[in-house]
Chain A
Amino acid sequence: MSDTSQVQSSYRELKVKWSFVFLALALLLSLLLSVGIGPMQISLLDSLSVIVAKTGLIEMQVSGVMENIVASIRLPRAVLAVFVGSVLAVCGAAMQGLFRNPLADPGLIGVTGGASLAAVLMIVLGGTTFSFLFAIFGAYTLMIAAFVGAFLTTMLVAKVATTQFGTSITSMLLAGIAIGIVTGAAVGLLTFTADDAQLRTLTFWSMGSLGGATWSTVLAAGSLIAIPLICLPLHAKNLNALLLGESEARHLGINVETVKRQIITLTAIGVGASVAVAGMIGFVGLIVPHIVRLVLGPDHRYLLTASAALGALFLLVADMISRTIIAPAELPIGLITTIIGGPFFIAMVVYRARSNSL
């Protein structure tokens, strides 16, 4: 008996190991590819030589335009894709663990609703009521506003759901849905007053784009995103315990309230920053953890890290498609993730319903 379980666990560990090797290689490959592919005709070799020259490993002469495109346009965009993809997936996995619900999504706790309300406020009223903000923050106003909006809304949702007995997950779910409806109504009201140019801007904002990537936005968003990327995997064991149920986790000696509060705050920071910098990119947080669970099982010790890697890979590939498929125009990345994610999700639901494991 113990023999078979040992065999099983070593088989599992082997699978985990190889999955991580595969993910790391695929991530590296697609990073290189996304630096090498774009509407401008630059060969993969040339792009690589730019990177090599930049790092100063080898003295090399590269053309100015090429260097600029690779170093200041493609590379920050690829790095941003990695950050945003990984944090969306890791936060999705954490939310699903926290809510013990396979359909949980960072949108449930008001992050996306708050961010989009703030962003639409800036797009529609940025020229009039809020022009002073643009005077202070310049081109970063929209991002800062979206992040602040996301964070404040999430804190409000958490506050509503918290009583003297702690934060109730069910109340949080309901409060999140209710506040999502309220922000949706406010967005609708603003949309109604918007003019043509503003309508187009906010429509495309809600489909997401990594096009705003510069090294300074990567640095700003990346330093925020790094916090949940590092801290959420540290909660893996707590999330595993929470899977058993809250009181069971408490009996295991886990301070459930603190864990809940930390995970929610980390998610608000991570998803808030990524929505602020890239707009709404749907389905990554929902589908990536599901794929990982399908292969590696529900153990959060692997789930969180593997989700981060797969999320980064998914968004890198989606952004490559976004940039090139209808060049010189750009297909919004949120459309691509949902076009890929939707059917996949349906297939998975069908598969799991058949095998009775949903």
Chain B
Amino acid sequence: MKKISKALISSLVLLCSGASLPLLAVTNELQTSSPQKIVSADGSLTEIVYALEQQFLLVGVDTTSGYPLDATKLPQIGYKRNISAEGVLSLAPQVLIATQDSGPDKILKQIEEAGVIIKKYSAKPELNVVKEKITGVAKLLNVEAQGAALWAKVESEVKQAQQTLKDVKTPVKVMFVLSAKSGSPLVSGDETMADAIIKLAGGINAAQGFSSYKPMSAESIIAAAPDIILMMDRGGDHSASSDIFEQPGFKLTPAAQNKRLVVMDGMLMLGFGPRVGLAVERLVAAFYPQLALANNETKQVNE
């Protein structure tokens, strides 16, 4: 019995080392040339690879990679915070691109030990980080010029969208509601992607005094008095947003009185990828419709 198990273990060890050997060899090669196969464990990074037109290098993505639609047809490695080592290794990538919140760390370590290079980028919702991610991925894929061009485009889009904001005298108070299905609604506080994008689009987060996503009582929602309710579009799931103003609490907010509900695709709004400019532009237009009108008028006058 003992002998058999020993033999088993040694053959397993052999197998494992055998599997990782070719990968190790590839790793050494990588120092000189760009990788041929990459796996992305973050939706915004996948978007960047596509924006750089290097998608033919992708051999696998995680479940947060929903844009562009083509990305969803690639082999799946699972949810970004719960990826499996063997799933990634079976795709035999040279590089795994991930963000700080991808994981679990133990699994990432196993993948690294098997010879896959792991490139981790910050997961903070900041424009700097978008730049870091774009230039980082471009450098990795040896397309630095395209990377610089992409960042310049994103940056100018954001700047252009924010241009109109200088005329705003009283910023709107926006409340991001993650879910309002049962009990007290889940609302986004400080230090969230939603908080960051609201600020970028010239709004104020109406939910102050707590961080992350927390249940907020109906009464506190009234006290916060949001001008606009912001929600994610859940692809056909209208249950979440359609009757939000019927709920206690929301019913008595300025947002409900003026029927101001903004619904946007989750990955577009909170992804902090190459589409962040578009997200800011759309949110600014939704937050301040009067600005767009004023702009059009001045344009017409100029013409």
Contact = CB atoms under 8 A, between A and B. Distances in A.
B181 A330 contact: no
Contact of B184 (A195, A214, A330): A330
B248 A73 contact: yes
A211 B209 contact: no
A279 interface: yes
20 contacts: A39-B217, A39-B219, A39-B220, A68-B222, A74-B219, A127-B239, A131-B237, A134-B239, A138-B243, A142-B181, A200-B213, A204-B183, A204-B186, A205-B182, A209-B183, A209-B184, A212-B183, A212-B184, A328-B210, A328-B216
A326 interface: yes
A137 to B, nearest CB: 9
A200 B185 CA distance: 11
A68 B257 CA distance: 14
Contacts of B179: 197-198, 200-201
- 7 A-B pairs closest in CB distance: A127-B237, A211-B184, A209-B183, A328-B220, A329-B214, A134-B239, A329-B210
A329 B248 contact: no
B215 interface: yes
B248 A200 contact: no
Interface stretch (B10-18, B118-126, B228-236, B273-281): B228-236
Interface in B205-264: 207-210, 213-224, 232, 234-240, 243, 246-249, 251-252
Contacts of B55: none
A65 B183 CA distance: 22
B86 to A, nearest CB: 17
B205 to A, nearest CB: 12
Contacts, number: 137
Contact of A126 (B181, B208, B220): B181
A204 B239 CA distance: 18
Secondary structure of the A side of the interface? helix
Contacts of A72: 248, 251
A73 B237 CA distance: 27
A309 B207 CA distance: 36
Contacts of B186: 197, 200-201, 204
B263 to A, nearest CB: 13
Interface in A98-118: none
Given A211-B215, A328-B217, A329-B210, A201 B235 contact: no
B27 interface: no
Given A127-B236, A329-B210, A38 B219 contact: yes
A323 B187 CA distance: 15
Interface in A53-73: 65, 68-69, 72-73
Nearest to B185: A211
A131 B236 contact: yes
Interface residues of B, number: 44
Interface of B: 63, 79, 178-179, 181-187, 189, 207-210, 213-224, 232, 234-240, 243, 246-249, 251-252, 266
Nearest to A77: B218
A212 B248 CA distance: 8
Nearest to A211: B184
A40 interface: yes
Given A40-B219, A329-B215, 12 more contacts: A38-B217, A68-B252, A69-B222, A69-B252, A123-B182, A127-B234, A142-B182, A204-B183, A209-B183, A326-B214, A328-B209, A329-B214
Nearest to A127: B237
A205 to B, nearest CB: 6
B239 A65 contact: no
A39 B182 CA distance: 20
Given A69-B222, A197-B179, A213-B248, A330 B239 contact: no
A307 B217 CA distance: 28
B96 to A, nearest CB: 21
Contacts of B219: 38-40, 69, 73-74, 323
A327 interface: yes
